[in-house]
Structure 1
Amino acid sequence: MDRLTKEQRHKNMAAIHSKDTKPEILVRKFLFSRGFRYRLNHPLLPGKPDIVLRKYKTCIFINGCFWHGHDGCKYFVMPKTRIDFWQAKIERNKERDSENQRKLASMGWHCITIWECQLKPKVREATLESLSYTLSLIFLKNHKVKKYELHEKDSLIAAEPLDI
């Protein structure tokens, strides 16, 4: 049985927004501080990704563990009331997420999903550093930047580029 009245529950659920959530803002502030520039909720891309980095041809989805059914996560607990409704709703969300990511991949876009639980204080720094590292690798792969290797006796002028 729900501890809240029907009106209280309605008010709580209505206060939940799909844009500008705290996890989204955390990721956006991190990316901006590291020099990454992005667009928000690009309307022409499937699923209107939360963050779009055109230079990296990458879309970032920041998913709430409950709303997107994060399997195996302690923050995803199926409600005890209206079970059929919630199971169907969460399953539809998961199917829609998969379909949008398939469409984006077929268009040549990289998709990164960050879960709400990955932005909790204990693991936040590791998650964000991993995101930065992944974006750097995508950039290097997409732009075929030459990497130089120096030998002990070589000078910078004599260094030879290596293909990555």
Structure 2
Amino acid sequence: MTDIMTPAQRSARMALIRGANTKPELQVRRLLHGMGYRFRLHRRDLPGRPDIVFPARRKLFFVHGCFWHHHEGCRVGHLPKTRQDYWKQKFATNKERDARNLSDVITLGWDAQVIWECEVKDVAALSDRLRALLGPPGGRVKK
């Protein structure tokens, strides 16, 4: 199948894709806030600029889109049929960077977790997971 857009049109369309404040990220933030948790966003001093950070708890979350971060086993994390060499390289680079960022923040003493876009759809399961990882909301956390 050939692309119906010119390279300039495709480039303009791809430039509109956001790296922060994505729909899945906003949904997770809304859920956490509704549960009573308070957090920081996109800390530039941490590797990979984690999406959601709990400094007092030393916990952070990366919210990954299933397509862009090539979620294995997810129907959205598939390989496009056109320009497969480009996409294979793109996904490999993204996965490499994700693994490096996760390893780097863990080395710095943070408890890091990845929340996938497809996990956001099951709100009950996600809220149970978040509550188990974070403990009770509010107040100071004892170390």
Q: Same fold (TM over 0.5)?
A: yes
Q: How many Å apart are 1:116 and its aligned residue?
A: 0.5
Distance between the aligned counterparts of 1:129 and 1:14, measured in 2?
35
Root-mean-square deviation (CA, aligned residues, Å) is 1.8
Q: Tell me what 1:21 maps to.
A: 22
Q: How many Å apart are 1:27 and its aligned residue?
A: 0.8
Distance between the aligned counterparts of 1:3 and 1:103, measured in 2?
38
Structure 1 residue runs of 4 or more that deviate by more than 3 Å after TM superposition: 7-12
Q: Tell me what 1:107 maps to.
A: 108
Distance between the aligned counterparts of 1:17 and 1:10, measured in 2?
14
Q: Tell me what 1:53 maps to.
A: 54
Answering whether residue 5 of structure 2 is matched by residue 5 of structure 1, we say: yes
User: Normalized against structure 1, the TM-score is what?
Assistant: 0.77
Residues 2 and 117 of structure 1: CA distance in aligned 2, closer, same or farther (over 3 Å):
farther
Q: How many Å apart are 1:90 and its aligned residue?
A: 0.8
Equivalent pair of 1:27/1:128 in contact (CA under 8 Å): no
Q: Report 1 or 2 for greater relative contact order, CA contacts < 8 Å, sequence distance ≥ 6.
A: 2
Distance between the aligned counterparts of 1:125 and 1:22, measured in 2?
18
Distance between the aligned counterparts of 1:134 and 1:50, measured in 2?
16
Report the identity percentage: 41
Report which stretch shifted further, 128-137 or 52-61.
128-137
Q: How many Å apart are 1:11 and its aligned residue?
A: 3.9
Distance between the aligned counterparts of 2:59 and 2:19, measured in 1?
20
Distance between the aligned counterparts of 1:80 and 1:134, measured in 2?
38
Q: How many Å apart are 1:84 and its aligned residue?
A: 1.1
Residues 37 and 2 of structure 1: CA distance in aligned 2, closer, same or farther (over 3 Å):
farther
Q: Tell me what 1:148 maps to.
A: none
Distance between the aligned counterparts of 1:2 and 1:37, measured in 2?
47
Distance between the aligned counterparts of 2:105 and 2:127, measured in 1?
22
